[in-house]
Amino acid sequence: MRCFWDARQLAHAPELELHNGAFVPFAESPARAEAILAAIGTPEAAVDHGEARLRAVHSEAYLAFLWSAHKDWRAAGRPGDASGYAWPVVRRRQLSLDRIDARLGAYSFDAASPIAAGTWEGAYWSAQTALSALGAVLAGEPAAFALCRPPGHHCGSDYLGGYCYLNNAAIAAEAAIAAGRKVAILDVDYHHGNGTQDIFYERGDVLFASIHADPRTDYPFFWGHADETGEGEGEGATLNLPLARGADLAAYLPALDAALERIAAFAPDLLVLSYGADTFAGDPISQFRLETADYARVARRIASLGTPTLIAMEGGYAVDALGANVASFLEGFA
């Protein structure tokens, strides 16, 4: 399978994150990408498709914020990486906010996604990697893998969170739609892809299906419940399949089959697959129990749809096993 990557993604390297109430080393580290690279061989270099593709998903105001946030943080005399501490809960609306702390709150939903000096560059090239792999699929490849890092599926049109700053899957989906394709998105990361869901929630032309840990117990908590099915023209075009903690392959496969059945009925001509390996039994921040060999089985089932597929990397934090888990998935898919 053709794989895509750009070394500038390594520029995104925050030091610490707030996790379960304590500052700990940033889990979404550059070492994740290096572990995957060691397992999949030499990828093709991403090509720059420009910022217009980002603007098809993200607001101008958000992109401007993300581009300057770390500079603004330092200009305010702050050390380390930029991170918010106050959020608008009752109602979000466009406000003219001057202080960097206020703007961090306006454009994010958690304190676990710091903005470092290289965050814009890393996120920009992560999105370009997704677009480059999409290009291969649009040109006729049955599937291509985008080694996106930072990941994207928690990021909405105007907010970051969950280690995500630009929504790679959504950016690729919009680019595929612009190229005349009918697109479905399947998210198999451990965590619900709240950003992707939000972006397409009122759209009937894109199907979003997600299998994830029940948000009653797991991040991102406020999205991904089974009764979220879309709104307006998007009613029925969102499918959430939350599973209880401890799910192994036997518990996982029925949900996967339900998602694939819905996708087959939607009859897309391109699938964007948000793949996270944090469903792994040994993942340090997640609670499912998939094994390395299980990823090949999951991938084969998804590939049996026969739909041209862009696979975009999302989470996966058991760094020692990450390369083997991704390789298992890609081999199963091929």
Residue 130 gets which letter from DSSP?
H
Range in contact with Zn ion (rule: CB under 5 A) among 64-72, 108-116, 267-275, 309-317? 309-317
Cβ of residue 311: shortest distance to Zn ion, in angstroms? 15
Residue 278 binds to Zn ion (criterion: CB under 5 A) = yes
Q: State the number of binding residues for Zn ion (CB under 5 A).
A: 6
Helices (H) and strands (E) in the chain, counts: 10, 10
Q: In the β-sheet with 44-45, what is the strand arrangement from edge to edge?
A: 44-45, 2-5, 143-146, 309-313, 270-275, 183-187, 206-213, 238-243
Pairing mode, strands 22-25 and 16-19: antiparallel
The contact pattern for Zn ion, residues 229-268, with x = CB under 5 A and - = no contact, is ----------------------------------------
Cβ of residue 306: shortest distance to Zn ion, in angstroms? 27
Complex with Zn ion: residue 230 or 276, whichever CB lies closer: 276
Residue 315 binds to Zn ion (criterion: CB under 5 A) = yes
Range in contact with Zn ion (rule: CB under 5 A) among 41-49, 128-136, 184-192, 266-274? 184-192
User: How many CA atoms lie within 13 Å of 143's alpha carbon, on the beta-carbon side?
Assistant: 22
Complex with Zn ion: residue 9 or 307, whichever CB lies closer: 9
Cβ of residue 212: shortest distance to Zn ion, in angstroms? 8
The one among 124, 125, 190, 275 contacting Zn ion by CB under 5 A: 190
Degrees (nearest 5) of the Cα angle 207, 276, 149? 100
Structure tokens at 53: 């593709």
- CB-CB contact of 168 with 129 (8 Å): yes
Supply the residues annotated as catalytic.
154
Per CB under 5 A, residues contacting Zn ion are 189-191, 276, 278, 315
